[in-house]
Amino acid sequence: MLFGSYTSAYSNPLELRRCFSSLQGKVDKIICHFGPYKDYDNNGIFENFQDCIKVARDYGAIFFQNLSPLPEYVKRSFASIYAEVLGLDFLLIIDSDEFIDSTQSNFSKFKEKAIDIAINKYSGMYNIFSCIVEYGNQTYKALPRVWYKPHEVRYNKTHFSLTVDNKKCPYLKDPKYKERIPSKELLPHLVIRSNYDLRDKKENNRHANYLNILRNRESVFSNDERFM
């Protein structure tokens, strides 16, 4: 079983190095997709972008670039495409400002349980599984970040809504899940942390402005029960 990670990144090489350092030796392939997001303020960060490319090379990551700005969910949608090209069985979605907490994780045990649950317990019926992610300072949440057969998973209209192309998945027969497939189960032994300690004030403001734009753009879906 091949395990990979996918990170969508753009402008902070320090965060990216922390992220990739936590993945090194754990996953078989590190995938990174570089490029601007639609309406993200990219003024003055081209040099940082080049430094991010260097970080990817330092960690042997397989990286791709888009030059034109893409909506968040469109950019993230390439995760399943890259995973299929590389023949990955499992894919961990981890943001560039996140990192695996080594004090709370055991990646070898995590992989064992992922294989056991996705294949032995459910016989490949489900693709989307959760792990624990820090969602705000010292606040943790189960998020759908682990995909089995990632080529069967795709984003649907938002960066938080996933659906699948898996004929064995029982969710597809239920109209309730037409727009969004939920995570089937929380996988143990993996905790992902997140903080903005490596950002300066300007970058924090830039990121906050972008999040406001993103929330406004996707708010129509966040209030739709089909995406909840």
Q: Which domains does the chain have, with CATH numbers?
A: 3-227 (3.90.550)
Q: pLDDT tens for residues 125-165?
A: 999 999 999 987 778 999 999 999 999 999 998 888 999 99
Q: Which residue has the tokens 């497939």?
A: 181
Exposed, middle or buried: residue 167 (CB in 10 Å: 0-12, 13-18, 19+)?
Answer: exposed
How far apart, in Å, are the Cα atoms of 166 and each of 150, 177, 202?
10, 13, 43
> What pLDDT does 56 receive?
94
Taken as a whole, the chain contains a residue count of: 228
Residue 156, number of CB atoms within 10 A of its CB: 18
Contact 5, 192 (CB under 8 A): no
Percent of the chain predicted with pLDDT > 90: 65
